[in-house]
Chain A
Amino acid sequence: MLEAARCIVVRDLLVAWRRRSDVATALLFFVIVTSLFPLGIGAEPELLRSIAPGVIWVAALLSCMLSLGRLFAADHADGTLEQLLLSSEPLGVIAAAKALAHWLVSGLPLVLIAPLIALQYDLPAPLYPVLALSLLLGTPVLSLIGAIGAALTLGLRGGGVLLSLLVLPLYVPVLIMGAGSVDMAAAGLAPDGQLLLLAALLIVAAAFAPWAIAAALRISME
């Protein structure tokens, strides 16, 4: 059981490793966007500290969008998506594996590099774990919800823009909760409530999004 799903994760990681530049592009985008704000706004430490959580989270959303377009489009173009649809395991399981691979390649690096970005904003050290934890809980949700949009816009002309219009509004709760948890911690309050809500979002998304992705893929492949 789950052999096909494991195979998909390994395959996508292997393809990502052989096309490292694609992965680096999304990560560099995140680094550059977050670095532009201090340059544009000015080096006012108090101001930077207060905008840091929001800026980092918005940059994470945008960076995730950047790689979502390729999630199913590449498989669609080379015909391997048809083979995924004919795999020996339920399509929902395969879809979950695709979303997991997407997160490992584009979400996890953001979680790891975020403390370094926070340094630029002079975020107090005790907030680093909160920021990293909020991204760790939130970015998988971005991959899961984004994959629904990616599956729905598959093969459409101008699908990239449509995908952003479709998916970014759905990211709002994650953004509010994610940035909010760091803000709470910065104000000296316990961020547990926000983080738990993020965890709840992740559980709900992990339970339902794969089946929505599967349904969307079937519609797109007709």
Chain B
Amino acid sequence: MLEAVDLACERGGRSLFRGLSFALRDGELLRIAGPNGSGKTSLLRIVCGLLSPTAGTVLWDGAEIRRLREEYAKQLVYIGHAAAVKDDLTAAENLRIACTLAGHRVSPRQIRQALDSFELADLPVKRLSQGQRRRAVLARLVVSESMPLWLLDEPYAALDAAAGRLVEELIDGHAARGGAVAFTTHQDTRVRASQVIDLDA
């Protein structure tokens, strides 16, 4: 279970949010909403431990994530704003590296299936379009069923309708299996979030 206690974040001298607390249990979906610049990405980066909050703590199963570090990192999939793929490597190579780094073994067949489900050819990423790059990154979700926590920053950005639906299905499926998902978006999504945090309010 993921718990955030009394989080506050300041960026560039401006307070983005303060006193933010929430708990995300297994099988729950958390949607972080808000206009541009309201701190959605900062909140997600705080939750995955890349950014330290100005105040407050994030707990995973009752332990501070700052202390857990790699132990916590092994539990989560973070898909950030940037594509996080190497231009010179192929989609399959990028996917295999991302999974190995996260400490989870995938077979070449699983990688093939993940890329197939996103209709991706195994080309060097630099030859792919923006949307296809995004698909190459999100293909990781197909092979990450075993990771309990997914943190997704704008998963629908640059995706077409078909790929967007696929991501919605993956998120729903993960929650149905008992995984927890926190995602940011300012687009409409059919995913029914069990909690919504609106950073504008």
Residues of B within 8 A of A78 (CB): 82-87
User: Do the beta carbons of B86 and A15 come within 8 Å of each other?
Assistant: yes
Whether A88 touches B70, Cβ cut-off 8 Å, given contacts A3-B103, A15-B88, is yes
User: Do the beta carbons of B101 and A222 come within 8 Å of each other?
Assistant: no
Q: How far is the CA of A89 from the CA of B80 in the complex (A)?
A: 20
Q: How far is the CA of A38 from the CA of B159 in the complex (A)?
A: 59
Is A157 an interface position by the 8 A CB rule?
no
Residue of B nearest to A86 (CB): B73
Residues of A within 8 A of B74 (CB): 88
Interface centre among B48, B85, B101 (most CB of A within 10 A): B101
User: Do the beta carbons of B73 and A88 come within 8 Å of each other?
Assistant: yes
Tally A residues with Cβ within 8 Å of B. 24
Q: Is the interface of B mostly helix, strand, loop or mixed?
A: loop
6 contacts between A and B (CB under 8 A): A79-B81, A82-B80, A82-B84, A87-B102, A88-B102, A222-B50
User: Do the beta carbons of B49 and A86 come within 8 Å of each other?
Assistant: yes
Q: How far is the CA of A3 from the CA of B97 in the complex (A)?
A: 10
Q: Is the interface of A mostly helix, strand, loop or mixed?
A: helix
**Distance (whole angstroms) from the CB of A17 to the closest CB of chain B:** 9
User: Do the beta carbons of A18 and B48 come within 8 Å of each other?
Assistant: no
Is A14 an interface position by the 8 A CB rule?
yes
**Distance (whole angstroms) from the CB of A121 to the closest CB of chain B:** 37
Residues of B within 8 A of A19 (CB): 88
Q: How far is the CA of A78 from the CA of B166 in the complex (A)?
A: 24
Per-position 1/0 for A165-190, Cβ under 8 A of B: 00000000000000000000000000
Whether A87 touches B103, Cβ cut-off 8 Å, given contacts A79-B82, A222-B52, is yes
For chain B, the bracket of interface size reads: 20 to 34
- Residues in chain B within 8 A of chain A (CB atoms): 48-52, 69-70, 73-74, 76, 78, 80-89, 93, 97-98, 100-104, 124
Residues of B within 8 A of A222 (CB): 50-52
User: Do the beta carbons of A87 and B73 come within 8 Å of each other?
Assistant: yes
Whether A4 touches B101, Cβ cut-off 8 Å, given contacts A89-B70, A90-B70, is yes
Residue of A nearest to B137 (CB): A79
**Distance (whole angstroms) from the CB of A146 to the closest CB of chain B:** 21
Residue of A nearest to B140 (CB): A83
Choose among B52, B78, B89, B124 the residue that contacts A82 (Cβ–Cβ < 8 A). B78
Choose among A4, A11, A90 the residue that contacts B86 (Cβ–Cβ < 8 A). A11
Q: How far is the CA of A18 from the CA of B48 in the complex (A)?
A: 32
Q: How far is the CA of A91 from the CA of B82 in the complex (A)?
A: 20
Residues of B within 8 A of A24 (CB): none
User: Do the beta carbons of A79 and B102 come within 8 Å of each other?
Assistant: no
User: Do the beta carbons of A4 and B89 come within 8 Å of each other?
Assistant: no
Residues of B within 8 A of A87 (CB): 70, 73, 101-103
User: Do the beta carbons of A79 and B73 come within 8 Å of each other?
Assistant: no
User: Do the beta carbons of A14 and B101 come within 8 Å of each other?
Assistant: no
Q: How far is the CA of A7 from the CA of B86 in the complex (A)?
A: 14
User: Do the beta carbons of B101 and A7 come within 8 Å of each other?
Assistant: yes
User: Do the beta carbons of A11 and B97 come within 8 Å of each other?
Assistant: yes
Residues of A within 8 A of B73 (CB): 86-88
Given A3-B100, A79-B84, output 4 extra A-B contacts at Cβ < 8 Å. A79-B82, A83-B102, A88-B70, A90-B70
Is A221 an interface position by the 8 A CB rule?
yes
Residues of B within 8 A of A80 (CB): 84-86
Per-position 1/0 for A9-30, Cβ under 8 A of B: 0010011001100000000000
Is A84 an interface position by the 8 A CB rule?
yes
In A78-109, the 8 Å CB interface with B consists of 78-80, 82-91
User: Do the beta carbons of A90 and B102 come within 8 Å of each other?
Assistant: no
Q: How far is the CA of A7 from the CA of B95 in the complex (A)?
A: 12
User: Do the beta carbons of A84 and B101 come within 8 Å of each other?
Assistant: yes
Q: How far is the CA of A15 from the CA of B85 in the complex (A)?
A: 12
Q: How far is the CA of A86 from the CA of B83 in the complex (A)?
A: 15
Interface centre among A14, A83, A85, A87 (most CB of B within 10 A): A83
Whether A79 touches B89, Cβ cut-off 8 Å, given contacts A4-B101, A11-B97, A86-B48, is no
